[in-house]
Amino acid sequence: MKKTLTAIALAMAAATPAMAELVVPNLSYRTGPYAPGGIPYADGFNDYFTLLNERDGGIGGEKVANPECETAYNTEKGVECYEATKGSGALVYNPLSTGITYQLIPKVTADGIPLYTPGYGRTSAANGKVFSNVFNYPANYWDGASVAITHLLSENGGDLSGKKIALVYHNSAYGKEPIRTLQELSKKHGFELVEIPVDHPGQEQKSQWLQIRRDKPDYVLMWGWGVMNAVAIQEAANIRYPMENFIGVWWSGSENDVLPVGDGANGYKSLAMHGTGMDYPVYADLKQYVYDAGKASGAGDQVGSVLYSRGMYAALVISEAIRKAQELAGTSAVNAAQVRDGFEALEITQDRMTELGLPNFGQAFASSCEDHGGPGNAMIQQWDAAAKKWNLITDFIAPDDEVLTPLVMEDSAAYAAENNIAERCN
Amino acid sequence: MPDQLLYAIEAGLNGLMAGVLYALVALGFVLIFKASGIFNYAQGVLALFAALTLVGFQNGQIPFAHLLNAIFGTDLHEFGWHLPAIVAIVLAGGVMVLLAIVIERYVLKHLVNQAPIILFMATIGMAYFLEGLGDIMWGADIKKLDVGLPQGINETIDSVTYNAFGYGFFIDNLDIVASVVAAALVISLTIFSQYSKQGRALRAVADDHQAALSVGISLRFIWVLVWSIAGFVALVAGIMWGSKSGVQFSLSLIALKALPVLMLGGFTSIPGAIVGGLIIGMGEKLFEFFVGPMIGGATENWFAYVLALLFLVFRPQGLFGEKIIERV
């Protein structure tokens, strides 16, 4: 019996990520009400690292391990996952949750580990002078809100004065993120902003959509996640709200959100910070080295979806930051502090995206000590219910930095004052 | 009529309809509590499991496909058929009966005459088990549920109210169907409970397990029966809610909407579940309409509980609940 237990213990020790040189924990959620969003993201994230391991032998010759820890999109569990995995030599965290991000910011800063939150998390973390260990490029929530308004401006000849825009949002730290920006933009452009919260999980939204039916806003923006998205789109279809005037953030723009609504979702729009689908050369390699080799993450049925693409994109940026860190440190076995430096010095050009097999998939950006947020550009995609696919209907649209930069500075300065943080990069 | 009044009436009517949907979930709780004295924590998960099974059958999904593929390296996904809704509903109902038998055989049978808290804890365990089982059997992705129920604005009500008041009321066709189904369920369950031999046996078991056994009532049969009926009610609730939002994990959280209904209507009254649902539904929608805008909105979740607690102050057993007097 003792021998058996010893053998099991040895086998388990051998299976732990301690064998790998580069540990990138995957704080995922494959269970709970937000699992339909968490699963494809986690699969895309894992599959990209598997591709690097199988095709290239890892990054700079070092294999990458992605130990998964289940957060169920629960902030307490997310923090537990962080505490449980940081001792394994974790190089970077990407928890796919704004709530978890808020809790981890002081922890990663104290522990010297970078936190990468593309398209989510604390927007003002874009200010690298205050948030040394947090990176949220290529775009954040405030960029998204601004891009949506810029898109509406372009549809209205540059004038939104007198228009009414409703924001339907998840009543959480995440959902409330764009409010401040939209309030500022409403002052600048003269539109009326109506804020309509929806409580977790958002299964019942009749009151909210009756209000929209009564108020008749010209446009509806949505900051939703999970079941809230599909229910909102269904309710919009029920009250015959014109779908082309309904725009969700990128977290409200996956197949999960529109497929359950069927034809009623046709024409619904959402922001997109990257391309989607399988028309990219990288998929040939993924097929050869990952899918056909039986090494796909999860059930392997999420390939090419919006959230799979986003998870893959996050993994790509992280792997490039590690590569940069290796280059800067002159060693392949980098530690978390060196990876943080890699994130700060990272530049991804379109040429590099093409080399990586994802031409025009995401925007080019360069990070710096001051700027951890990137350009913040986003596209608009529209759902075609008959073809069951998203079509990009705009090119990348730039956010209004004239409004956003002061907001980022104000919010980050307040955080710095609260936490006695001295500005860096001077 | 002033616009505000019209809007309030519309909100109230929609609240009544939403209340019926809450009541559908609450009914399952009442049935099991009434018959066995168990507060079934797993009722919301039963609705999720039933709806997942229904969609799985309808779409010809192979159960446990992901697990089988992972273990045996196969590439199984679907049988390749698409069953008519009615066949899928009957099959899903059959699975719920099987589930009731399994629950009785492997859980409840071993807990006869145990304290209610033990039985309650067992249902918590069942809830987590069924959540995981549903995930492994059918996957965690959002599934579209289409059993042919109408959805969207009811044109007749819209045009009639528009002609009468100059403002067309929005009433969802799905909510109307849910109301009819709920009414039919309540009537048939009330008749069953009050007038059938099995119904009387259910109530006897609820009063005292051992006394019921001593007069020849088969406790095991009654428990299978009541869990089967609760499973069927869960299937109906799963269909209604699943048609609104797709079938996914959040369906299990609709149980949270049923709790204030139970507190208000009483844990032992079938009509109480309906009346409680209507009061909660209308109360929360009207509160959201009148007070919500003043305090930032999103009041419905907590207001339902506040309303239930207010009722409890004056009537601890709920509106229709039985007053339990325990003599020491």
A14-65 pLDDT tens trace: 444 444 589 999 999 998 888 999 999 999 999 999 999 999 999 999 999 9
How confident is the model at residue B1, as a pLDDT?
Answer: 66
Q: Measured between alpha carbons, how far is A21 from A61 in angstroms, rounded to an integer?
A: 10
pLDDT at B325: 66
Q: Which two structure tokens, joined as six digits, stand for A177?
A: 């993120």
Are A407 and A140 within 8 A, CB to CB? no
Q: What is the C-alpha to C-alpha distance for residues A362 and B179, in angstroms, rounded to an integer? A: 49
- Tell me if B78 sits within 8 A of B58, measured CB to CB: no
Residue B302 has φ and ψ, to the nearest 5°, of -85, -30
What pLDDT, on the 0 to 100 scale, is given for residue B208? 78
Least Cα separation, residue B213 to chain A (angstroms): 40
Residue of B170, B296, B301 lying closest to A210 (CB–CB):
B170
Q: What is the CA radius of gyration of chain B?
A: 21
B144 in contact with A, Cβ within 8 Å? yes
Inter-chain CB proximity B298 and A204 less than 8 Å:
no
Contact A203 B244 (CB under 8 A): yes
Distance to chain A for B265, nearest Cα, Å? 21
Query: Cα dist. A281→A165, A187, A302, A323 in Å?
Result: 40, 45, 18, 21
* Per-domain residue ranges of chain A: 2-140+280-376+410-418, 141-276+378-405
Angle at A66 between CA A60 and CA A69, to 5 degrees: 160
Is B170 a residue whose pLDDT tops 70? Answer: yes
| B250 in contact with chain A, both atoms CB, cutoff 8 A | yes
Secondary structure letter of residue A256 according to DSSP: H
Residue A212 φ then ψ, to 5°: -65, -40
Q: Does A294 touch chain B (CB under 8 A)?
A: yes
Start-to-end CA distance of chain A, whole Å, equals: 63
Nearest to B284 by CA among A282, A131, A376, A208: A208
Residue B80's pLDDT band (cuts 50, 70, 90): confident
Residues of B in contact with A33 (CB under 8 A): 248-250, 253
CA distance A128 to A413: 11
- DSSP letter at A423 equals P
Q: Which residues contact B325 (CB under 8 A, 6 or more apart)?
A: none
Q: Does domain A2-140+280-376+410-418 have CATH number 3.40.50.2300?
A: yes
Q: Are strands A269-272 and A64-65 parallel, antiparallel or unpaired?
A: unpaired
Q: Do domains A2-140+280-376+410-418 and A141-276+378-405 have the same CATH topology?
A: yes
pTM, to two decimals: 0.90
Q: State residue B205's pLDDT score.
A: 81
* pLDDT for the residue B326: 62
Res. B322: pLDDT tops 80: no
Cβ-based burial of B301 (10 A; exposed 0-12, middle 13-18, buried ≥19): middle
Q: Which chain A residues are within 8 Å of B7, Cβ to Cβ?
A: 210, 214
Taking a contact as any Cβ pair under 8 Å apart, which residues of chain B between 19 and 38 contact chain A?
Answer: 21
Closest CA to B28 of B209, B316, B261, B325: B261
Residue A190 tokens, joined: 């003269």
pLDDT band at B98 (very low <50, low <70, confident <90, very high): very high
Positions in chain A short of pLDDT 50 = 1, 10-19
Residues 94 to 123 of A: which have CB under 8 A from any B CB? Answer: none
Q: Any CB–CB contact under 8 A between B73 and chain A?
A: yes
Establish whether this prediction's ipTM goes over 0.85.
yes
pLDDT in the model for residue A17? 45
Residue A412 and residue A239: Cα distance in Å, rounded?
40
Q: What would the CATH number be for the domain defined by A141-276+378-405?
A: 3.40.50.2300
pLDDT band at B327, cuts 50/70/90? low
- Give residue B66's pLDDT: 85
Taking the C-alpha atoms of A138, A144, A150 and A156 in order, what is their torsion angle to the nearest 10 degrees? 140
| Per-position DSSP letters for B268-323, written without gaps between them | T-HHHHHHHHHHHHHHHHHHHHHTGGGTTS--HHHHHHHHHHHHHHH-TT-SSPPP
Q: How far is B245 from chain A (nearest CA, A)?
A: 5
Terminal Cα distance for chain B, rounded = 59
Task: Note whether A334 and A91 are within 8 A (CB).
Answer: yes
Q: With contact defined as beta carbons under 8 Å apart, do B245 and A231 qualify?
A: yes
